[in-house]
Amino acid sequence: MPRSKCSKCVDPGRCCSGFVLTYPGNGHYVGKWKTKAWVEKKLKEMDLPYYPIRRGRDGIWTYGCHWLNEKGRCSHYRKRPKTCRNFKPGSDALCTMHSGSNEIEKRLDALDRAVLTLAKEMVKVEPSTKFLLSVGGRMVEI
């Protein structure tokens, strides 16, 4: 049996925080323009382990999961909700395996380069000195 992309994830749990929820069938957002208390009550009624993080300017809530452990893995994997069971690794920008996440990696590379430049200036290292940096699970020479 082939291993899931999740088993190779370089940022476990990223897909379990900051996601949006829609009702099955109609695609309407759960809790759009509703209060945090309303959303928490609705999630409890729906028997979901999620919690609201923040409501955006568009009224759409982002959510996290109470079952996410300190290693970024589900602590109740066998009992996870259908929403989680149906999630396909790589199918959404929340997933680090998503093909569209290259833009995020480019931004991280630029930030890493800026931090490294500052560090070189602070320790008085020659600008031509090369460093290896781990980016997205791979080593990059800077």
Q: What is the dihedral of CA 26, 28, 34, 36, to 10 degrees?
A: 100
Residues 6+ apart with CB under 8 A from 107: none
Q: Classify residue 29 as exposed, middle or buried by CB count within 10 Å of its CB (0-12, 13-18, 19+).
A: middle
Distance CA 92, CA 98 (A): 6
Mean pLDDT of the chain: 77
Q: How confident is the model at residue 11 (pLDDT cuts 50, 70, 90)?
A: confident
pLDDT 10s digits, 48-102: 999 999 999 999 999 999 999 988 888 988 898 888 888 887 777 777 766 654 5
Residue 2 has pLDDT above 50, yes or no: no
Distance CA 29, CA 59 (A): 9
DSSP state of 68: B
